[in-house]
């Protein structure tokens, strides 16, 4: 009782309590667009307690805007902006791992930045690593169990894949270089997942290290005292001197070169789709990806993935998606650039570009060798029409008009069309 009486004194200025001002424009009233959980039908009421108006306005689905939402759906979204950024000489990294987004058991991810010459230390993982360079140029270098190697320069749009255990290193070549990393295990930070060279040497008896390399201790006098993870360095011209036939090329290559593979325009006409999985990038057998652009107002049609969880990274634009979990349960999420998300295995969903002007760009990733989806429209079009009419109580005309070809990305209703393909 006492506390209740104290509250106004604690939180209000001397004057009477004024409702928080959340309105971003001069139009009257409250509502979702003002960050208030209040529908035009009169349901709901303003928020009087602590809240973040910017987050509320950018996430109107969280305010209950979609009346089709129901039940408890676990959180399916994580913003890289909510991650702790590790600062290192010559770069930074911020991760999304299972403790951030527990539903994402298949995939963990990170954004990583290297300045010119900076090196992501020599290392390997218990899990496969997939990367997508979206800014700058980088050098990747790797060695497999048969002593075959690859040294490649990557440009924006290029993708790499190192199967589990492959030895590798990355160096920045332009002034600023940045990429998305994905790993085929959500628990990426678990002990026993990443192995750094300096860390290993420091934890091996010195006499063994010397015997291993056939040298004396003067060689290792200046070893870093901890594994540097990312370190400043300069770019050298020295190449690997090994026979050409030991190089990993063709179907064995760890690199997918974007300029050698055009993005596909899709039947629905609303954008572009680029599949980077084992059909176009043979080595990538545990991570399948698709790069998607969707024009303003465009819709990624209702579908699900029969083979895997879907993990997403939104690169540009704004989006909304509703995830149907079965059993009458569904929840809608709003997304913007820098968000990651996970749609549970086989859950039904769509993605709509909520911007009237900006193209939406995202990457979807599956722990699988192939990108696969089942389209609701195509399913209905390829089912005996009488059955569809009875089950959905729809007309014969509607069923006859369903397209038998998967549309994937449907056009928006606005004038704008999709911009150039993503990635470049
Ligand atoms: C790393 O190198 C950059 C130049 O590429 C320099 O600006 C920065 O100060 C260096 N950082 C450290 C910790 O040496
Ligand atoms: C250690 O090795 C270096 C280079 O091989 C050599 O110059 C040096 O004499 C050696 N020192 C000892 C103590 O053996
Ligand atoms: C490379 O992989 C593709 C796709 O899996 C396959 O069609 C092609 O035959 C392979 N080429 C070689 C030389 O093995
Ligand atoms: C199907 O639609 C008709 C016409 O609107 C309606 O009368 C009928 O009740 C509906 N049937 C079911 C099972 O919902
Ligand atoms: C985009 O729209 C413009 C103007 O409406 C048109 O001239 C252009 O051909 C369209 N581009 C594509 C790729 O459809």
Atom of ligand 3 nearest to the CA of 251: 1
321 in Cβ contact with 335 (< 8 Å)? yes
Distance from the alpha carbon of residue 216 to the mean position of ligand 2, in angstroms: 6
Active-site position among 65, 178, 361, 364: 364
- DSSP bridge partners of 144: none
For the chain, the distance separating the N- and C-terminal CA atoms, rounded to the nearest angstrom, is: 63
Kind and range of the H or E element at 325?
Answer: strand 318-326
113 in Cβ contact with 178 (< 8 Å)? yes
Q: Give the pLDDT of residue 41.
A: 85
Is 364 annotated as catalytic? yes
Q: How far apart are CA 280 and CA 290, in angstroms?
A: 11
Q: Which ligand is nearest to the CA of 263?
A: 5
Please tell me the residue having the least CA distance from ligand 1 atom 13.
Answer: 89
The response to whether residue 282 sits with its C-beta less than 6 Å from ligand 3 reads yes
- DSSP bridge partners of 182: 109, 130
Q: What is the DSSP string of 250-280?
A: GGG-SEE-GGGSPPEE-TTBSEEEEEESTTT
**pLDDT digit string, tens, across residues 5-26:** 444 444 444 444 444 455 444 4
Atom of ligand 2 nearest to the CA of 216: 1
Q: Which ligand is nearest to the CA of 279?
A: 3
Atom of ligand 1 nearest to the CA of 175: 5
Distance from the alpha carbon of residue 417 to the mean position of ligand 5, in angstroms: 6
90 in Cβ contact with 114 (< 8 Å)? yes
Architecture of domain 78-246: Sandwich (2.60)
Task: Report whether CATH 1.10.3720.10 matches the domain 261-410.
Answer: no
Distance from the alpha carbon of residue 274 to the mean position of ligand 5, in angstroms: 20
Q: How far apart are CA 89 and CA 114, in angstroms?
A: 9
Q: Give the pLDDT of residue 67.
A: 93
Q: How far apart are CA 283 and CA 250, in angstroms?
A: 10
Q: Which ligand is nearest to the CA of 421?
A: 5
Q: Give the pLDDT of residue 424.
A: 67
Among 207, 209, 214, 216, which residue has the most ligand 2 atoms within 8 Å of its CB, making it the best to mutate?
A: 216
344 in Cβ contact with 285 (< 8 Å)? no
Q: Give the pLDDT of residue 414.
A: 61
Distance from the alpha carbon of residue 303 to the mean position of ligand 5, in angstroms: 27
Q: What Rg value do the Cα atoms of the chain yield, rounded?
A: 26
Q: What is the DSSP string of 93-159?
A: EEEE-TTTSTT--S-EEEEEEEETT-EEEEEEESS-EEEEEEES-EEEEEE-TTS-EEEEEE-TT-E
Q: What residues in the chain have per-residue pLDDT under 70?
A: 1-29, 414-421, 424
Distance from the alpha carbon of residue 392 to the mean position of ligand 4, in angstroms: 9
pTM as predicted: 0.89
Provide CATH 2.60.120.10 ranges for the chain: 78-246, 261-410
The response to whether residue 235 sits with its C-beta less than 6 Å from ligand 1 reads no
Identify the residues whose C-beta falls under 6 Å from ligand 2.
216, 218
Please tell me the residue having the least CA distance from ligand 3 atom 14.
Answer: 251
């Amino acid at each position: 009782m006492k506390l209740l009486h104290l509250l106004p004194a604690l939180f209000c200025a001397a004057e009477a309590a004024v409702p928080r001002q959340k309105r971003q424009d001069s139009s009257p009233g409250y509502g979702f667009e003002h960050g208030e959980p209040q529908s035009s039908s009169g349901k709901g009421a303003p928020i009087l307690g602590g809240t973040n108006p910017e987050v509320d306005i950018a996430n109107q689905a969280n305010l209950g805007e979609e009346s089709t939402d129901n039940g408890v759906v676990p959180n399916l979204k994580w913003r890289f902006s909510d991650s702790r950024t590790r600062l290192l000489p010559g770069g930074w990294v911020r991760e999304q791992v299972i403790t951030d987004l527990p539903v994402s058991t298949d995939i963990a991810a990170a954004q990583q930045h290297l300045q010119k010459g900076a090196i992501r230390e020599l290392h390997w993982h218990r899990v496969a690593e997939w990367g997508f360079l979206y800014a700058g140029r980088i050098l990747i270098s790797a060695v497999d169990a048969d002593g075959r190697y690859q040294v490649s320069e990557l440009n924006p749009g290029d993708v790499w894949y190192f199967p589990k255990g492959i030895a590798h290193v990355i160096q920045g070549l332009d002034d600023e270089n940045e990429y998305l990393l994905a790993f085929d295990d959500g628990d990426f930070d678990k002990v026993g997942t990443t192995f750094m060279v300096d860390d290993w040497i420091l934890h091996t008896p010195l006499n063994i290290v010397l015997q291993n390399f056939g040298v004396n201790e003067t060689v290792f006098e200046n070893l870093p005292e901890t594994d540097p993870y990312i370190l400043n360095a300069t770019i050298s011209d020295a190449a690997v001197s090994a026979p050409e036939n030991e190089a990993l090329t063709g179907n064995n290559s760890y690199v997918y070169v974007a300029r050698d593979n055009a993005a596909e325009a899709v039947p629905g006409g609303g954008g572009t789709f680029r599949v980077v999985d084992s059909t176009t990038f043979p080595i990538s057998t545990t991570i399948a990806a698709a790069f998607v652009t969707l024009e303003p107002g465009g819709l990624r049609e209702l579908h699900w993935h029969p083979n895997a969880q879907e993990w997403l990274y939104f690169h540009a634009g704004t989006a909304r998606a509703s995830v149907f979990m079965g059993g009458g349960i569904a929840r809608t999420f709003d997304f913007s650039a820098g968000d990651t998300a996970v749609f549970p295995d086989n859950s039904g969903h769509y993605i709509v570009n909520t911007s009237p002007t900006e193209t939406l760009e995202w990457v979807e990733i599956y722990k699988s060798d192939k990108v696969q989806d089942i389209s609701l429209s195509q399913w209905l079009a390829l089912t005996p029409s009488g059955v569809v009419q009875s089950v959905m109580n729809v007309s014969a005309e509607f069923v006859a008009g369903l397209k038998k070809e998967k549309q994937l990305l449907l056009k928006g209703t606005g004038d704008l069309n999709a911009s150039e393909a993503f990635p470049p």
